Structure 1
Amino acid sequence: MGDISKSNRALFDLDLLRALVTVADCGSFTVAATRLHSTQSTISQKLRRLEDLAGHRLLDRGARDVRPTDIGETVLGYARRMLALNEELAEALSSGGAPITIRFGVPEDFAAGRTTRLLAEFSRDHPRVKLEVSSGLSRALGEGYDRGELDLVLVKQRRGSREGVACWPEPMCWIDGAASPAFGNEPVPLVAFPPRGLYREDMIDAIEALGRAWRISFTSSSLGGIQAAVGDGLGISLLPARAVTAAHVVLGPESGLPVIDSIELVLLHRPSADPEVKVLAAMLVRMLGEAQA
Structure 2
Amino acid sequence: MATSGIHTDNTMLDLTLLKSFVAVVDCASFTRAAERLHLTQSTVSQQIRRLEETVGRTLLDRGPRYVRPTEDGERLLGYARRLVSLADEAADLFGDAPHDEVLRLGLPEDFAAGRLTPLLARFGRDHPGLRLEVTSGLSGELQRLYDAGELDLILVKQLTGQRASVAAWPEPLVWIDSLAHPAFGIEPLPLAVFPPGGLYRNEMIHALEVLGRHWRISYCSTSLTSLCAAVGDGLGVSLIPRRALLASHRVLEPDNGLPVIEVMELSLQHRPGLSPLGQALAARLAAACPTMMTEPLEPVHDPMKGS
TM-score range with shorter-chain normalisation?
A: 0.5 to 0.7
Q: Which moved more, 1:113-122 or 1:232-241?
A: 113-122
The residue number in structure 1 matching 2:101 is 100
Indicate whether 1:208 and 2:209 are aligned.
Answer: yes
CA distance in 2 between counterparts of 1:292 and 1:131 reads: 24
List per-residue Cα deviations over 1:150-189 (Å, max 9, x = no partner).
1111001111111111111111111111211101100100
Paired residue secondary structure (1:101): strand
Is the 2:106–2:154 contact (alpha carbons within 8 Å) kept by the matching residues of 1?
Answer: yes
Q: Residues 122 and 7 of structure 1: is their aligned pair in 2 closer, same or farther, counting only changes over 3 Å?
A: closer
The aligned length equals: 207
How many Å separate the matches in 2 of 1:203 and 1:292? Answer: 21
Aligned AA (1:189): P
Deviations 1:198-242 (A, max 9, x none): 211111122222222111111111222211211111100011112
Q: Which residue of 2 aligns with 1:229?
A: 230
Cα distance in structure 2, aligned partners of 1:169 and 1:285: 13
Separation in 2, partners of 1:229, 1:290 = 26
Task: Render the CA deviation track for 1:254-287: whole Å, top value 9, x for unaligned.
Answer: 2111111110111111012121111100000011
Output the CA distance in 2 between the equivalents of 1:114 and 1:90. Answer: 38
Structure 2 equivalent of residue 272 of structure 1: 273
Asked if the contact 2:193/2:219 (under 8 Å) is kept, the reply is yes
CA distance in 2, matches of 1:91, 1:203: 54
* Alignment partner, residue 194 of structure 1: 195
TM-score, normalised via structure 1 length: 0.66
Q: CA 1:7/1:264 → structure 2, altered by over 3 Å: closer, same or farther? A: closer
1:90 equivalenced with 2:91 (yes/no): no
What is the distance in 1 between the residues matched to 2:291 and 2:245? 20
Amino acid aligned to 2:280: V
TM-score by length of 2: 0.63
Write the distance in 2 (CA, Å) between the matches of 1:278 and 1:163.
17
> Are residues 1:128 and 2:129 paired?
yes
Q: Deviations over 1:23-67 (max 9, x none)?
A: xxxxxxxxxxxxxxxxxxxxxxxxxxxxxxxxxxxxxxxxxxxxx
| Other-structure match for 1:141 | 142
What amino acid is aligned across from residue 210 of structure 1 in structure 2?
L
Letter in 1 for 2:267: V
Query: How far is the alpha carbon of 1:7 from its aligned partner?
Result: 10
1:60 corresponding residue in structure 2: none
Deviates more, 1:283-292 or 1:192-201: 283-292
Do the aligned partners of residues 91 and 185 (structure 1) sit closer, same or farther apart at CA in structure 2, a change above 3 Å counting? same
Alpha-carbon distance in 1 for matches of 2:293, 2:231: 26
Aligned-residue sequence identity (percent) comes to 55
Contact 2:193 2:227 in 1 (8 A): yes
The one-letter code matched in structure 1 to 2:169 is W
In structure 2, distance between residues paired with 1:222 and 1:117:
21
For structure 1, the residue ranges without an aligned partner over 5 or more in a row are 9-84, 93-97
Residues 1:165 and 2:166 aligned together: yes
Note if contact 2:184-2:237 (Cα within 8 Å) is conserved in structure 1: yes
Q: Give SS of 1:185's match.
A: coil
